[in-house]
Amino acid sequence: MGREWWRGAVIYQIYPRSFLDTNGDGIGDLPGIVERLDYIAGLGVDAIWISPFFTSPMADFGYDIADFCGVDPMFGTLADFDRVLKKAHDHGLKVMIDQVLSHCSSAHAWFQESRQSRDNPKADWFVWADPKPDGSPPNNWLSLFGGVAWTWEPRRSQYYLHNFLPSQPDLNFHNPEVSAAQLDNLKFWLDRGVDGFRLDSINFPYHDALLRDNPAKPAHLRTGRGFSPDNPYAYQYHIHNNTQPENLGLLEDVRALLDRYDDVGALGEISSEDSLATTAEYCTARRLHMAYSFELLTEDGSARHIRSTVEALEARMRDGWPCWAVSNHDVQRAVSRWGSGDADPALARQLIALVCSLRGAVCLYQGEELGLPEADLPYEALRDPYGKAFWPNFKGRDGCRTPLPWTDGPQGGFSQGTPWLPVPEAHRVRSVAVQNADSDSTLHAARAFLRWRKQQPALVHGSIRFLDAPEPLLAFVRESADERLLLVFNLSAVPARWAAPANTSLLAIPGFSGVTHDGENLHLPARSVALARVGGSL
């Protein structure tokens, strides 16, 4: 892919627990990834991002890491990871892995030592604080998973901070030994040959050293991605427990390490009070290569919201590179979220074309290429502690994490055993095997679009400019030195018409047909995409 491979790359996210199980224990594994890399390469993507496969008690399914440099036995071995790396590279795929810098598992040796006393070598590696005179926590900070962000440790007679689960204690980056240790962990994987990192919650490593209270948020502003309506986390402005100025220095240290290696990239996940501003601040030539936030992972899939989000980031970002996603392992699948529960194949195709046409890199979550809807699971099937805590108002993240269906047979061809989460019938009928056999399927359309995209410099590296269009139409131009492409999306479930610019010439991409041009207007069926070359002034 040449230098700076990540610019304009399509990155396929693998959630390894749910990708393919090869040993019959019901949990996907690294050998399963090796076995299906041909399939991923055949999609036309440029890279894979593998969610955590590290040693972990799995309280948060791998995001609670007990050994940053070890592979959990349920996923395989370091040798299996090396096989993934080699085969991916043989297919021309770059490999990114998750890294969680801000916290670890309470089972990690660092925390086990730190919690024993106030004077051991790791005593200051975590965020410890004395109680208030009445014995209550040191401030009002709340956990994203609900409830107080502090847990009492009787061996030290102190509280420790956890922005997530109590079993995910926050590391104290005000101690330089901590950042040095985490940089060493990154170096371990870089030396092994990875092409980059997806940095989880990268605005969370530093906290306010004065432990000041977060201010209250008015009721009408208590919104956010993935929050249950009754999650108290939404009641505060989180200005002291994350996104601190000192974090910029950490990012510069990470970038300095990465710059010692040949053409690697860092993708940061950002969730802050003003995520677009933080994304622009974090993505510079001295910090992250790319970042994404959650603006397109919310309930609002309107043309107005998409345009305003992209334009706001474009106006702020100078030398960084955006990354866009409409689905991942933490939110309801987009085809259900933006389709009002209707798993319309036309919407599934449109979403792939839309996110892959914005300026920047793209993260596609496994199953998007199949148009999988959100799985509706009963309470007794839930595994996510977040969902269990807030049932029934919020069902957690299990509905987007169910196993990828490879066939329409029992367990969807995912496992010979009992899958860790059930494979619903609505997914099995959309399996890889079923869609491979259907030339009009979402899978074939996704492959066609991704392969076509690779050949369009304007989509990979070009600029973006939005054109005025009435809701529910979204129209923009991608332009490079060699070409100008017009893309128009009818985001509604009813047909629409739009006055096209002069010299508009529609393009025929398999799976994206039905739009017509009468010389003046584009006629767009429901959930359709107009792809065109355009000349003249706009």
Catalytic positions: 200, 269
β-strand pairing of 158-161 with 321-324: unpaired
Amino acid at 301: G
In degrees and rounded to multiples of 5, residue 55 shows phi and psi of -55, 125
The b/e string for 220-244 (b: 16+ C-beta within 10 A; e otherwise) is eebebbbbbeebebbebebebbbbb
Type of residue found at 368: E
User: Is the peptide bond preceding residue 495 cis, with omega within 30 degrees of 0?
Assistant: no
3-state class of 465 per DSSP?
strand
Torsion angle in degrees (nearest 10) through CA of 52, 58, 60, 62: -10
Cα torsion angle, 33, 376, 492, 327, sign:
negative
Closest residue by Cα to residue 181 from 240, 143, 126: 126
Q: Which residue has the tokens 């940095």?
A: 199
3-state secondary structure 413-461: HCCCCCCCCCCCHHHHCCCHHHHHCCCCCHHHHHHHHHHHHHCCHHHHH
Nearest to 376 by CA among 325, 420, 332, 326: 332
* Token pair in block for residue 324: 């866009």
CA angle (462 as vertex; 11, 202 as ends), nearest 5: 40
List all residues 6 or more positions away from 267 whose beta carbon is below 8 Å from its beta carbon.
6, 11, 49, 96, 196, 197, 198, 199, 288, 289, 290, 291, 292, 323, 361, 363
* Triad 190, 196, 202: Cα angle to 5°: 110
Token output for 454: 């690779």
What tokens were used for 214? 């977060």
Dist. CA 487–CA 149, nearest whole Å: 45
